[in-house]
Amino acid sequence: MPASIATSGSQTATLNTDHTLVTQTAPTGGAIYQLRARLNELVSGEQLTLRLQVDGESGGTLEDLYSGTFAHVQGEPYKDSPAVVVPAGARVRAILRQEGGTGRAFTWWLYRLDG
């Protein structure tokens, strides 16, 4: 399956705040997306939640499809969401939230797995 980076960036977290990393609309024919983040900045006492929201159809309401929470130092710093299927014209939104400690900068990528 071919993969490409749909978009990427870095987010410095403000504690206890949801940060929208990206909202992407699927092209004609739909798309498969996956979120990856590098959590090498986390230290003991800090927690990061990554979420993916999708709307099931064009113009629908964005709702949580995936949520993963990671705490403390990470032995494997790269974290991937499951791949999500997004119908044509529907949206996927990636969200990052840090709790505890000091707001850190996290690098992230939204991959398109179907080309």
**Residue 70 binned pLDDT confidence (cut-offs 50, 70, 90):** very high
**Residue 115 binned pLDDT confidence (cut-offs 50, 70, 90):** low
75: Cβ–Cβ under 8 A, 6 or more apart, which residues? none
3: Cβ–Cβ under 8 A, 6 or more apart, which residues? 111, 112, 113
Residue 2's Cβ-side half-sphere holds a number of Cα atoms within 13 Å equal to 5
pLDDT digits (tens, 9 = 90+) for 50-63: 999 999 877 889 99
pLDDT digits (tens, 9 = 90+) for 75-110: 999 999 999 999 999 999 999 999 999 999 999 999
Question: The domain containing residue 76 runs over which residues?
Answer: 4-112
- Give pLDDT, residue 59: 81
- Give pLDDT, residue 60: 86
| Cα distances (Å, whole numbers) of residue 41 to 52, 69, 76, 113 | 21, 15, 12, 27
Structurally, the chain folds into a number of domains equal to 1
* Residue 81: alpha-carbon gap to chain centroid: 7
Is 70 exceeded by the pLDDT of residue 1? no
Neighbour tally for 43: CB within 10 Å:
12
Closest-CA residue to 101 (of 39, 28, 44) = 44
Predicted TM-score (pTM) of the model is 0.93
CATH number of 65's domain: 2.60.120
Q: How far apart are CA 80 and CA 96, in angstroms?
A: 13
pLDDT digits (tens, 9 = 90+) for 2-12: 799 999 999 99
pLDDT digits (tens, 9 = 90+) for 27-53: 999 999 999 999 999 999 999 999 999
